[in-house]
Amino acid sequence: MPKSSSVRDYIRTIVDFPHEGILFRDVTTLFADPRGFRMAIDQLLHPYAGERIDKVVGLEARGFILGGAVAHQLSVGFVPIRKKGKLPGTTISQDYTLEYGEAIVEIHDDAISPGEKILVVDDLLATGGTCAAGIKLIERLGGEIVSCAFVIDLPDLGGRKVLENMGMDVHTLCEFEGL
């Protein structure tokens, strides 16, 4: 891929995936390019340099890739929020609606201590359902969310408004119109 000055330029669009009429924003091309990946991680964590962050929470599955890298750069712990049945220990769960149906996410019940400052990271903000469910889990454990950071915002789907209505700060690197 040619050198680029924008994270957006590293993201490809796949038409009609996973369903007809969907324009899937594929971040694997961003992850595969060392310059693009580094740019994304640096831009995701930049607003939080110097802020107290105790842990980064990544939402399944691409949020693990981004969140792990951001946590490493911030020298803090990483916590995954996974689909139901994927975590081995004692968990708490939250159901939610996403753009293609319904799901349940879980977090270990001892992953976050009350009062810890949390940064939530994922690749894409669509309807906000997955992140909203993750926020509920974190808050049930007593975590205090500093912000929610995403590579991509799909503003037509309204996720930013959902999260902001929950009192969340939202940081995104780029936007794509449409579904």
The catalytic site residues sit at 62, 99
CA distance 99 to 101: 6
CA distance 84 to 142: 21
What is the amino acid identity at position 163?
L
Among the listed residues 93, 55, 94, 90, the one whose alpha carbon sits nearest the alpha carbon of residue 74: 55
Rg, C-alpha atoms of the chain: 16
